[in-house]
Amino acid sequence: QQQAPAGPTTPPAGPTAPPAAGGAPEAPPPPVVIPDYQPVTAEILTNPADGDWPNYRRTYDGWGYSPLKQITTENVADLEPVWMISTGSSDGHEAPPMVINGVMFVSQATTTSNQVLAIKADTGEILWRYQRELPPDMHTSHPTNRGVGFWDDKIFFTSRDSILVALDAKSGAELWTVKMEDYKMGYYANLAPLVIDGKVIVGTSGGERGIRGYVAAFSAEDGEELWRTYTIPAPGEPGSETWPDGDEWKTGAGSTWITGHYDPENKLIYWGVGNGGPWMGDQRPGDNLYVTSVITLDPETGEIKGHFQYHPNDSFDWDEVAAPILIDLPNKDGETVPGLVHAARNGVLWELERKPDGQISFVRGTPYVKENWIKSMDPETGRVEYAEGRKPGTGVLGDFCPSFWGGKDWPPIAYSPDTNYVYIPANENLCTKMQGGTVVEYRPGASFTRGTQGDRSDLYLAEGADHIGEVQAWDVATGKKVWTHEFPNSANWGPLMTTAGGLVFGGGTNDSMFRAFDAKTGEVVWEMKLNSGVIGVPTSFEVNGKQYIAVQAGWGIDAASMQTRLGASYPDKFKPGTTIPTGGVIWAFALPDNM
Ligand SMILES: O=C(O)c1cc(C(=O)O)c2c(n1)C(=O)C(=O)c1cc(C(=O)O)[nH]c1-2
Ligand SMILES: [Ca+2]
């Protein structure tokens, strides 16, 4: 029923007001400014055009790979900015600039609001801006947004107050909203939805607030809830035997705050699950499925078809929310099989085999950063036994590496089919001394982590360490690391992207640099200092035959917290957190026209 006006090119003045409540006259709908928007189909999401970026990692398999190759190792030195837009937000910018048919959609959040921008991807002209205020009593944990999802002529994003929002792609008009969960109970949301065949599939944050994690699917059409699968089984459900005590499962956490990946051939979703709640594992005996696991889900029903737990009875805040990427890899006998690869927060690079029925089996686990917590790993099952003195507990000190922020936190790894390498943004040499305080009492919506009095969580550098941040490349054929680029004075919180031009792009360091690496050798072949540290997911797209690289710069969230702690503890090596500029800018780069 939307009518395309005669072709307005200017955005509506000011932010779009949410629909008026309480009998006030309704604001007129925003004008259609993208009349020729290309509706997004299952085909587009499954086999995106080379120049589009319609899923969180571009393709369902999670590779973060662009097949564009105008920008190469040979010419990338000439890469230059073509446009920049200030987002108006000063919190962490983590979302990929996603592109459909020449239009970019990119999201941000602050402690008080969220927004989505539609932008003409080649010029940087803002076509529409949607803003949604948050309730004033909303807590401020992790104020970020990680991107949008697409279906037909709609855009979907998760508002931090646990509301799923559908927008008209052509105008930014709000079409429907649905309450995913109650933010007052500690649930919040910031992930990009996974869209499969008209279903908008989301997860939740809240692992530090005593939630019970879930993955849920809503109809793209009207927001109707189609299924909801909890990551913590209720008594009697499969896996409930790993929660032998009373009511602990009700507040066991297992959040799901990063978008899952999808195998369209076997119709199976792979979703990562976060830490246990409260943090100290001895307050919830048992392995605690499906905390710190990957689960396989049926997109039709949400049924759990398989799982692999990376470490039992988590006691480290090692969310394993990053979904494993789907690639072929050699099994134990050297035969090539469909696999899953996950660079875990627990410091292990996991290689798993995925079966057509959803079952997941262990192939191998190789530490990719210094670790001291593994006493043994079962060669058949991959089950890990904890080394003495490493696992923290209630009144029990655990001294462990990698740190509670992990060998890698949420920033996604990337894969290039051209090199057959997996690229990891790693934090080497960091460790934690952690002790739980008193038993934590559950209060709805409140922090539910270590307890107070006698609790402790120190971040420290391993003895003899000369750096933290790294970009690593691992050869899938051999299971060996082939190159490492080290950052002597910074951690690395930079999501990675690979391209067919033989490049790996990423930022993540405290010097606000955005870099391109030679995918084969690890040599830095281009770098540029942006306005702020880059923790955004980079993307690449094409308009009128020209390849662009895009990324949001905007330092914040846990990258900033880690930097602040390192700067305070090691002032000779790491600068004070306050010296790193903040404020969000979307950047687009391309080669000069005369190239
Ligand atoms: O357990 C959770 O629900 C949860 C949520 C989030 C989040 O929503 O961003 C983070 C974490 N945990 C977390 O442990 C963590 O280290 C972290 C880092 C970041 C970030 O955006 O930099 N978010 C989160
Ligand atoms: Ca967590």
For the stretch 29-87, pLDDT in tens is: 899 999 999 999 999 999 999 999 999 999 999 999 999 999 999 999 999 999 999 99
pLDDT at 9 > cutoff 60: no
Instruction: Provide the pLDDT for residue 75.
Output: 98
Give dist(CA 573, CA 111) in Å, integer: 31
pLDDT averaged over the chain? 95
Ligand 2 geometric centre to CA of 588 (Å):
32
Give dist(CA 194, CA 187) in Å, integer: 19
Q: Omega into 415 within 30° of 0, i.e. cis?
A: no
Tokens 């933010």 -> residue: 183
pLDDT at 17 > cutoff 50: no
For the stretch 183-208, pLDDT in tens is: 999 999 999 999 999 999 999 999 99
For the stretch 87-112, pLDDT in tens is: 999 999 999 999 999 999 999 999 99
CA atoms within 13 Å, Cβ hemisphere of 556: 26
Domain boundaries, the chain: 42-383+397-449+471-590
Give dist(CA 371, CA 368) in Å, integer: 9
Residue with CA nearest ligand 1 atom 19: 558
Give Cα 293 distance to the centre of its chain.
16
User: Which amino acid is residue 212, in one-letter code?
Assistant: R
203 vs 138, 147, 213, 321, CA distance in Å?
A: 18, 13, 8, 10
Our answer on whether the CB atom of 73 is closer than 6 Å to any ligand 1 atom is no
Ligand 2 geometric centre to CA of 320 (Å):
9
Instruction: Provide the pLDDT for residue 24.
Output: 58
Q: Name the DSSP class of 32.
A: P
Residue with CA nearest ligand 1 atom 7: 142
- Tokens representing 195 are 């869209």
Question: CA angle 158-161-165, nearest 5°?
Answer: 35
Q: Residue 243, class by beta-carbon neighbours within 10 Å (0-12 exposed, 13-18 middle, 19+ buried)?
A: buried
Our answer on whether the CB atom of 191 is closer than 6 Å to any ligand 1 atom is no
Instruction: Provide the pLDDT for residue 352.
Output: 98
SS3 558: helix
Q: What is the DSSP annotation of 360-378?
A: EEEEEEEESS----EEEE-
Q: Omega into 96 within 30° of 0, i.e. cis?
A: no
SS3 98: strand
Instruction: Provide the pLDDT for residue 7.
Output: 36
Our answer on whether the CB atom of 319 is closer than 6 Å to any ligand 1 atom is yes
CA atoms within 13 Å, Cβ hemisphere of 130: 27
Give dist(CA 411, CA 424) in Å, integer: 9
Give dist(CA 152, CA 449) in Å, integer: 41
At the topology level, CATH places domain 42-383+397-449+471-590 in Methanol Dehydrogenase; Chain A (2.140.10)
pLDDT band at 468 (very low <50, low <70, confident <90, very high): very high
pTM attached to this predicted model: 0.95
SS3 426: strand
pLDDT band at 451 (very low <50, low <70, confident <90, very high): confident
Ligand 1 geometric centre to CA of 559 (Å):
11
Instruction: Provide the pLDDT for residue 453.
Output: 80
Q: Can you list the pairs that 385-390 forms with residues at least 24 positions away whose Cβ atoms lie under 8 Å? A: none
In sequence order, what are the residues at sequence separation of 6 or more whose Cβ sits closer than 8 angstroms to the Cβ of residue 38?
44, 100, 101
Distance separating the N- and C-terminal Cα atoms of the chain = 45
If you compute the radius of gyration of the chain from its CA atoms, what whole number of angstroms results?
Answer: 23
Instruction: Provide the pLDDT for residue 408.
Output: 98
Instruction: Provide the pLDDT for residue 14.
Output: 40
pLDDT at 11 > cutoff 70: no
Instruction: Provide the pLDDT for residue 180.
Output: 98
Helices (H), 483-537: none
pLDDT band at 27 (very low <50, low <70, confident <90, very high): confident
Other CB atoms within 10 A of residue 583 CB:
17
Contact present, 60 and 46 (Cβ < 8 Å): yes
For the stretch 274-304, pLDDT in tens is: 999 999 999 999 999 999 999 999 999 999 9
For the stretch 517-562, pLDDT in tens is: 999 999 999 999 999 999 999 999 999 999 999 999 999 999 999 9
Mean pLDDT of 413-440: 97
User: Which amino acid is residue 440, in one-letter code?
Assistant: V
Instruction: Provide the pLDDT for residue 6.
Output: 39
